[in-house]
Structure 1
Amino acid sequence: MITTDSLTKRYGPTTAVDDLTFTARPGRVTGFLGPNGSGKSTTMRMLVGLATPTAGTATILGRPYTELRNPGRHVGVLLDASAQHNGRSGREVLALGALTMGLPRTRVDEVLETVGLTAKEARRRVKGYSLGMRQRLGIAYALLGDPEVLILDEPVNGLDPQGIRWMRNLLRSHAEAGGTVLLSSHLLSEVAQAADDLLVIGNGRLLAAGAKDELLATTDIEELFFSTTANDDRSERAA
């Protein structure tokens, strides 16, 4: 389970995340939806201890991420597929992760097979990977510790249609096994294909939350996006 309570992040006079409260539950894929610049990535960085909240709290499995022992065994994270070490091979990236988490090296082969990276591709340097291959490697790293919780920021970027279907099935399977998935995207059409629940954010604030089918039946989410973007545009012109 992932829980935030009045989570807030300010950078000087700018409020990136504003009093955000939500819960992502086990057995569910929770879509975290909002336009670019809405505060999704900042929220996810606070969830995994990469940014310190100005106010409020964020917990995973009942504790702050930084208090989890060997967090990779509990939480799989993909925030930026381009952040991988370009000079290492894909296999080396995963082998170092397995060593850090105290996992057997056989786990590397297991996750490579899960994400569809061949032995030949795994031997290549990451600098030669396409974006789609980097995404698959990032997912492999997130799955390495067999975590209960997945936190994924725009995981389908760079994937072809077959890869996108694979990703949806992977997230669905993880949730059906009792795991918690928080999936961010700025594309309603993509999140609607994968999510059970939706959180809609704009200007750092929670605009709507609930079961996907109910929310789509009662809320014009595209209008929420439009109004948020329009407010951003007006603020920029006023500045």
Structure 2
Amino acid sequence: MISVEHLTKRYGTHTAVDDVSFRCETGTVTGFLGPNGAGKSTTMRMICGLTPPTGGAASVDGVPYRRLPNPGRRVGVLLDASAQHPGRTGRETLSLAAHVMGVDRGRVDALLDLVGLDAKAGRKRVRQYSLGMRQRLGLAHALLGDPRVLILDEPANGLDPEGIFWMRGVLRDFADRGGTVLLSSHLLREVEAVADRLVVIGVAGSSPTAARRSCWPAAASGYAASSRTSWSGRSPRPA
């Protein structure tokens, strides 16, 4: 479970995030929506301990992220697919992470296969990857430690429609097996196809309700249980 309580972030006189609170329950996908500049990425960085909040707090299973022992085994994070080291191969990227987390390196091959990066792609330098391939590698990295929580910032960027459909299935299956997913996007239709609940924030300072979150079941925006996808197999190969 992810708990966010009154998170606020100010940079001087600029308020990036203003008093945001919500919870992501076990066994659910929570869609985190808002226009560009609303503070979604900043909120996620505060949850993951990368950006110190001006006020409020966030925790995963009752513990602040920075206090989690070996956090990659508890929380899988994908915030910026372009942040991967461009000089390493995809396989090297995951192998190094597996070593740091104490994960069996056999998971590296399994996850490369799951996300649709074949042996040839695994030997390529990340600088040669398309954005979609980097997103796939980032998702493999997030899943590497077999976590129970996923925090993903715009993970569908760069994926083709078939890849987006596949990713929805992976996230739905993860939640249905008892995981917790927080998934950000600025596209409602992309999120409502997989989310159980939606959290919506606006640009801080843009209106009297700025940055106050709204939260409702995804069914309220047209989502129906019958529209869920179920996919536990391998990804289609990237073009």
TM-score (norm 1): 0.89
1:210 counterpart = 2:216: yes
Once the two structures are TM-superposed, the CA of residue 23 in structure 1 deviates from its matched residue by 0.1
Structure 1 segment 160-179 matched on structure 2, within 5 A: 160-179=160-179
Q: Which amino acid aligns with 1:89?
A: T
2:25 equivalent in structure 1: 25
Q: Deviations over 1:156-197 (max 9, x none)?
A: 000011100110000000000000000000001101111110
Task: State percent identity of aligned pairs.
Answer: 63
Distance 1:21 1:180 in 2: 17
* Structure 2 residues not aligned, in runs of 5+: 205-210, 223-239
Runs of 4+ in 1 over 2 A off after TM superposition: none
Distance 1:44 1:34 in 2: 13
**Structure 1 counterpart SS, 2:158:** coil
Structure 1 segment 191-210 matched on structure 2, within 5 A: 191-204=191-204, 205-210=211-216
Structure 1 segment 1-239 matched on structure 2, within 5 A: 1-204=1-204, 205-214=211-220, 216=221
Once the two structures are TM-superposed, the CA of residue 64 in structure 1 deviates from its matched residue by 0.3
C-alpha root-mean-square deviation of aligned residues, in Å?
A: 0.8
Distance 1:183 1:138 in 2: 14
**Structure 1 counterpart SS, 2:88:** coil
Higher helix share: 1
* Structure 1 residues not aligned, in runs of 5+: 218-239
1:224 equivalent in structure 2: none
**Structure 1 counterpart SS, 2:193:** helix
Q: Which amino acid aligns with 2:184?
A: S
Once the two structures are TM-superposed, the CA of residue 114 in structure 1 deviates from its matched residue by 1.2
Q: Which amino acid aligns with 2:99?
A: L
The question of whether the paired residues in 2 share the 8 Å contact of 1:199 and 1:206 is answered with: no
Distance 2:103 2:6 in 1: 36
Once the two structures are TM-superposed, the CA of residue 117 in structure 1 deviates from its matched residue by 0.7
